[in-house]
Amino acid sequence: MKLRPLFILILFVVSTAILGWIYYKATHPQQEKPTETWHEIIADLDACCRRKHVKSMQYDHFATIAEQESRQQIARLFRAMALSERLQEHNCADAIQQLGGEYLPPEKIVVFRGDTDGNLERSIAYELRTTEECKCGEIGRAIACDNRFAARLLTWSSSVDMRNAAFMHLCRIPEETAANWEYLVCPRCGNLFISVYCEPYCPFCLTSGRQFVRFE
């Protein structure tokens, strides 16, 4: 009989603990853990990396052709764009690693062999096509998944593609080709500038213009 008060006390404590736990769960709903895997975003970043890798190799090849044709203005632009593509490839590859993935550059690359005018036309068409595809696909998926980091990198990539297409279009105009422009590349995001219109800082990533890489 002496054990009954102790038993009642233990039962009361246990009941109180259970009721307290139920109340806590009711008033503090468990938040869903953010997913640790970003398979679709990683796949988009990987595709962007591969495009950038191929284009950097292609632009270096086009620059060599332009130099052989004594078209130094266009050769400088191709060299600057090649560096821009490599910087963006590096940024996206780093993002893939931070999201738990792994990036391996393509082993085999087929480069086009044509004259400089044909290379400009082909490159402009490719830049405009990939820009539209990224706008409707990769960037939208990153935003939908609330991955602002990936969305920012993909937006930088798409914006630079549009600038590249615009600069290459200017190079097709004879009086602009004779302007003997210099080109500057932001070392962080790969944004490309014409020296005479260069800004004091990169509008994409706010890197100081003093750090830009110059092609002259």
**pLDDT tens for residues 78-116?**
999 999 999 999 999 999 999 999 999 988 877 777 899
Return all residues near 132 (Cβ < 8 A) that are at least 6 apart: none
Tell me the C-alpha distance between 54 and 117, whole Å: 20
pLDDT digits (tens, 9 = 90+) for 22-38: 555 555 554 443 444 57
Tell me if 204 sits within 8 A of 159, measured CB to CB: yes
> What pLDDT, on the 0 to 100 scale, is given for residue 196?
81
pTM exceeding the 0.85 threshold for the entire prediction: no
Query: SS3 for 151?
Result: helix
In the chain, the amino acid numbered 10 is: I
- Would you list the domain boundaries of the chain? 39-180
CATH of 39-180 among 3.40.50.1000, 3.40.50.300, 1.20.1260.10, 3.40.630.30: 1.20.1260.10
pLDDT digits (tens, 9 = 90+) for 160-192: 998 899 999 988 888 777 778 899 999 999 999
> What pLDDT, on the 0 to 100 scale, is given for residue 10?
53
> What pLDDT, on the 0 to 100 scale, is given for residue 97?
93
Instruction: Give Cα separations from 214 to 13, 70, 81, 84, 139 (angstroms).
Output: 75, 20, 12, 12, 30
Q: Which residues of 73-101 are buried (b: 16+ CB within 10 A; e: fewer)?
A: bbbbbbbbbbbbbbbbbebbbebbeebeb
Neighbours of 25 (CB within 10 A): 10
Tell me if 30 sits within 8 A of 45, measured CB to CB: no
